[in-house]
Amino acid sequence: MLLTEASAFAVPDWLDDKWLFYAGLLIPVVLFFHIRRQRRETISLAKQAEAKEAGMDEPPSLHPVIDPVLCIGCGSCAKACPEGDIIGMIRGKAELVEPSHCIGHGACRAACPVGAITLVFGTERRGIELPHVKPDFQSNVPGVYIAGELGGMGLIRNAIEQGRQAIEEIGKRSKQAGRKVEAAYDVAIVGGGPAGISASLAAKAMGLRAVTIEQQSMGGTVAHYPRGKLVMTQPAELPGHGKMKFREVGKEALLAFWTEVIEKAGLQIDYDERVDRVRPDAGAFEVTTNRRTIRAASVLLATGRRGTPRTLDVEGEDLPKVVYRLVDPEQYASRHVLVVGGGDSALEAAATLAEETDANVTLAYRSAAFSRAKKKNLERVAALKSSDRLRVYMETDVVRIEEDCVILKRGDQTGKLPNDAVIICAGGVLPTQFLKDIGIEIEVKRGERAMASAEP
């Protein structure tokens, strides 16, 4: 029997009913996800506009650049970021919405399934000074290597990885040179933080003659975080020890971990010893400290960028009551304390003092908004301010520091604030002169890609 044209294309009643049934189920689901995506995009646009209006639209250092052509809008990068809503989805593409809060984890790059993300240092508008470092971690001075925060990679995991990789390169150099170079050590490791400890472990595992020198106490920069500070990290492999499995840990627990690692490995780290000069000498290096002079075939600089605190350059800054980091909050109990700065260290110091002591705490910052602070710290400060436990003065400069007060200026107005202690948390400056004396070139990075071996 031949089918007519109408019967050939007719849809059976049972199939039509089933199609309507499934469509009825599918449409609400599609609408739900569409509305949710629109809501998230609205939030992302608002955050992006807020950051731009507040002048917080420039990332401080290492950060992702997203290629909109390659981006497929899957959102994997936004979900992978440990710092929260740094990346948002706008018009179906990933974009930085809170650039100033990005601290260069690199988890977004690793999560991107199509390779649309590149990690770069600095931007066209905001360059960052970094020492010249080659892919093998060697500076422009043969035999002098740089790893960790000094080279722009400040996160714990990155520093650990770079310390290990740098020692591997130094080991190759040492093997090629043999014992032709007269030196007591194959490598002098300057810095006892995560990069320095990792490098020391790697050197021990490789049988290199190494000496490790740290100008501060155990843990380097980590040792001077406020008590209870949560340090974001990612799992990392420590040479000869195994994997660090925690992702977020308190300062005390992290320092206890480092102590255990050092004792278990039998590492010798010379603390409270400052390296004053590194000088090339007959194929090796003469390393002069405040205690001695040693010779090493290679030098690994694994120091932080905060070794030289940024000063305010105001009258009275040399008074004994002025310090550049918070160590023990209890010593400030019942005192008038001024914390100066707008980054995480300043907000954490002010909040810790207000929460843990009865000190009269004031936080002063020269700009109209906190430009490089995590959301957790911003919320802590806002809560303390609203409960009158912390005074916050924005767009305020320190004019002069006196024995019993500080002189502050905001716009055309100048005022006197009773004061017993000043904590300046304005960050650190690159030890430029120290590096230049060695012969290391300083470069200004403006959106240049991080070397492949350094990327997490």
Report pLDDT digits (tens) over 236-275. 788 888 887 766 677 778 888 888 899 999 999 999 899 9
356 and 216 in a common domain: no
Vertex 169 angle, CA 164 and 173, to 5°: 140
Task: Tell me, yes or no, whether 287 and 321 share the same domain.
Answer: no
Condensed to tens digits (0 to 9), the pLDDT of residues 123-176 reads: 888 888 889 999 899 999 999 999 988 888 767 788 889 999 999 999 998 888
Both 179 and 289 in a single domain? yes
Express as a percent the part of the chain with pLDDT over 90.
48
Instruction: Mark whether 188 and 287 lie in a shared domain.
Output: yes
Q: What digits encode the pLDDT tens for the residues 13-47?
A: 655 666 766 767 777 777 777 687 788 888 888 88
237 located within any domain: yes
Contact 203, 210 (CB under 8 A): yes
Stretch 394-415: mean pLDDT, rounded? Answer: 96
Establish if 7 belongs to a structural domain: no
Last residue of a domain, one of 68, 103, 121: 121
> Are residues 78 and 177 part of one domain?
no
Per the structure, the complete domain to which residue 159 belongs is given by 128-308+430-454
| Domain match, 40 and 70 both | yes
Coil, strand, or helix at residue 100?
Answer: helix
Residue scoring higher pLDDT (31 or 186): 186
Same domain, 99 and 150: no
Query: Is 1 a member of any domain?
Result: no
In sequence order, what DSSP letters do the residues of 281-340 get, joined into one string?
ETTEEEEEESS-EEEEEEEEE---GGGEEPP---BTTTSTTEESS---GGGGTTSEEEEE
Query: 36 lies in a domain?
Result: yes
Residue at 253 is within a domain: yes
Do 68 and 114 have their domain in common?
A: yes
Nearest-CA neighbor of 293 among 275, 309, 267, 266?
275
Do 249 and 296 fall within a single domain?
Answer: yes
| 132 in a structural domain | yes
Tokens for 59, please give them. 């990332």
- For the chain, the domain total comes to 3
**Radius of gyration (C-alpha) of the chain in whole angstroms:** 27
